């Protein structure tokens, strides 16, 4: 590697994938204070007439989270969805065995789907394939999606919801290969059960997108093996001579290494216990930025991604009785939501530092780049703890235009956190303005930083667009 700038070559005709916005989804589970005291708290002065926390709802609206997975998670493998519908005074208070917590069932399927509409997001509902049956899963689809005239659609209407919810995306269970999972089973057993559930669900509504479980832990086969799983899917597709293409869903990802055991994971049979309340620092935020870059580089096959989770539980947002705080990891996630639109460019790079990482491929320094509606967005992670880096963007089919935004998340203390006492200790700041000259733009990124830069670009005079896209 030379001592000059890292050179990145851009060509809008050379795209990696059209970006599916659902890759920036999130997750809410009946776990700890994610639901109760998180998004729903009818006793709070901060809640509306539906019991929704107004401050949380407004924050999620501003983020424009495209999809949220619910109700679990480990929770769903012991959950009877019928407990969470109908008159609230008639719903049973039950023990959630997954997290040893009590669930009042005051917030259930209809409440969540109504909340999704208020938040401007769409649901990714998980069905119980632990203690639940394929028939139970199909019944839930019928309850949610059939207009009227059937057993479960009429029950929904009886519960005061006349119009069907028309939920399109469904998870077939949760982490069924995990020995911790209620209803844990082998891959073969899961395959048979998931196939039957999917078949019955599509008998009810053929217009469903279904997500099957993959390996759920780093010691298990195919965990994080994107390329290998994709290759197997394509091999099966070829042998069957099928036109169907299987996509990948990475629907639980985040940084989580502190609140993983003991009282942090045992609810002691309380309602809304403080579980998995990870406090994130600057270092964690940089890692989240790196994960976002990895997802973007995998956008040619990954179509759904869920930051797990969204509120209070390993989450970018934390609440108390008086308000909320934005944790450090919120900022790279919010940049992806705001600027991650259009197509991911397949960039060429020179003079880029790398490092060896056990168990994974060599990781690149610079992040992925996207283009949409004449706007270029660049996300760059600088892992170097001491040295700034210069990134040189070289346009091959365009010229640079007007700078729209340049921000950076950095600081001298990697362990700095945001909390209710100091909620803005770690926040983005204006980055050094990029220096543009014709088809070349230079960006300076400080050490231990994650940067987001957006600007317009122009088609040079006399340029003829290429019709072929390289993948």
Report whether pLDDT(418) > 90.
yes
Report whether pLDDT(346) > 50.
yes
Q: How confident is the model at residue 372 (pLDDT cuts 50, 70, 90)?
A: low
pLDDT for position 368: 55
Query: What separation in angstroms does the CA of 407 have from each of 269, 281, 386, 387, 450?
Result: 44, 18, 19, 18, 9
Report whether pLDDT(124) > 90.
yes
Q: How confident is the model at residue 119 (pLDDT cuts 50, 70, 90)?
A: very high
Please tell me the pTM assigned to this model: 0.92
CATH 3.20.20.80 fits 20-339, yes or no: yes
Q: Report pLDDT digits (tens) over 446-471.
A: 999 999 998 887 765 445 544 444 44
Check: CB of residue 67 under 8 Å from CB of residue 169.
yes
pLDDT for position 10: 87
pLDDT for position 12: 84
pLDDT for position 467: 45
- Structural domain spans, the chain: 6-15+343-458, 20-339
Report whether pLDDT(322) > 70.
yes
Report whether pLDDT(232) > 90.
no
Check: CB of residue 301 under 8 Å from CB of residue 20.
no
Q: Is 252 a catalytic residue?
A: yes
pLDDT for position 141: 99
pLDDT for position 2: 55
Among 252, 283, 361, 444, the active-site one is: 252
Query: What separation in angstroms does the CA of 265 have from each of 268, 315, 333?
Result: 9, 15, 25
Average pLDDT estimate for 323-352: 93
Average pLDDT estimate for 257-263: 93
Q: How confident is the model at residue 36 (pLDDT cuts 50, 70, 90)?
A: very high
Average pLDDT estimate for 210-219: 83
pLDDT for position 348: 85
User: For a pLDDT cut of 90, what percent of the chain falls above it?
Assistant: 69
Average pLDDT estimate for 282-304: 94
Q: How confident is the model at residue 256 (pLDDT cuts 50, 70, 90)?
A: very high
pLDDT for position 246: 87
pLDDT for position 364: 44
Which has the higher per-residue pLDDT, 351 or 266? 266
Report whether pLDDT(363) > 50.
no
Report whether pLDDT(18) > 50.
yes
Report whether pLDDT(367) > 60.
no
Q: How confident is the model at residue 230 (pLDDT cuts 50, 70, 90)?
A: confident
Average pLDDT estimate for 142-171: 98
Q: Is 278 a catalytic residue?
A: no
For the chain, the average pLDDT equals 91
pLDDT for position 105: 98
Average pLDDT estimate for 156-176: 98
Q: What is the CATH number of domain 6-15+343-458?
A: 2.60.40.1180
Among 29, 37, 142, 175, the active-site one is: 175
Which has the higher per-residue pLDDT, 339 or 370? 339
Residue 274: both structure tokens together = 């403080």
pLDDT for position 227: 77
Q: How confident is the model at residue 216 (pLDDT cuts 50, 70, 90)?
A: confident
Report whether pLDDT(370) > 70.
no
């Amino acid at each position: 590697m030379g001592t000059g700038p890292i050179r990145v070559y851009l060509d809008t005709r050379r795209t990696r994938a059209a970006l599916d916005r659902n890759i920036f989804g999130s997750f809410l589970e009946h776990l700890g204070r994610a639901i109760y005291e998180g998004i729903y708290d009818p006793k709070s002065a901060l809640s509306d007439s539906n019991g929704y926390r107004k401050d949380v709802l407004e924050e999620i609206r501003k983020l424009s989270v495209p999809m949220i997975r619910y109700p679990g998670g480990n929770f769903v493998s012991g959950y009877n969805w019928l407990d969470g519908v109908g008159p609230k005074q008639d719903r049973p208070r039950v023990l959630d065995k997954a997290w040893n917590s009590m669930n009042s069932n005051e917030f259930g399927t209809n409440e969540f789907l109504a909340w999704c509409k208020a938040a401007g997001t769409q649901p990714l509902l998980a069905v119980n394939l632990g203690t639940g049956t394929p028939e139970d899963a199909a019944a839930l689809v019928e309850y949610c999606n059939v207009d009227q005239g059937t057993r479960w659609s009429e029950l929904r209407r009886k519960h005061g919801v006349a119009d069907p919810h028309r939920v399109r995306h469904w998870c077939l269970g949760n982490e069924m290969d995990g020995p911790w999972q209620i209803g844990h089973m082998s891959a073969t057993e899961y395959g048979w059960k998931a196939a039957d559930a999917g078949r019955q669900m599509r008998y009810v509504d053929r217009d469903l997108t279904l997500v099957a479980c993959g390996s759920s832990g780093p010691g298990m086969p195919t965990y994080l093996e994107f390329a290998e799983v994709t290759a197997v899917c394509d091999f099966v597709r070829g042998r069957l001579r099928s036109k169907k293409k299987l996509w990948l869903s990475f629907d639980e990802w985040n940084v989580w290494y502190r609140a993983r055991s003991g009282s942090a994971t045992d609810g002691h049979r309380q309602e809304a216990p403080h579980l998995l309340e990870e406090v994130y620092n600057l270092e964690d935020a940089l890692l989240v930025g790196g994960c976002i870059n990895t997802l973007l580089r995998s956008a040619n096959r990954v179509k759904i991604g869920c930051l797990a989770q969204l509120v209070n539980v390993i989450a970018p947002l934390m609440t108390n009785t008086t308000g909320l705080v934005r944790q450090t990891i919120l900022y790279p996630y919010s940049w992806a939501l705001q600027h991650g639109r259009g197509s991911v460019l397949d960039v060429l790079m020179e003079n880029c530092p790398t490092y060896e990482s056990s168990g994974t491929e060599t990781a690149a320094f610079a992040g992925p780049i996207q283009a949409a509606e004449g706007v270029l967005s660049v996300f760059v992670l600088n892992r170097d703890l001491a040295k700034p880096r210069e990134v040189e963007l070289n346009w091959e089919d365009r010229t640079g235009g007007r700078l729209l935004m340049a921000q950076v998340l950095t600081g001298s203390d990697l362990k700095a956190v945001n909390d209710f006492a100091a909620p803005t200790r770690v926040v983005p700041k204006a980055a050094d303005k990029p220096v543009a000259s014709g088809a070349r733009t230079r960006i300076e990124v400080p050490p231990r930083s994650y940067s987001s830069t957006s600007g317009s670009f122009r088609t040079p005079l006399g340029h003829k667009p290429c019709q072929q896209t390289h993948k």
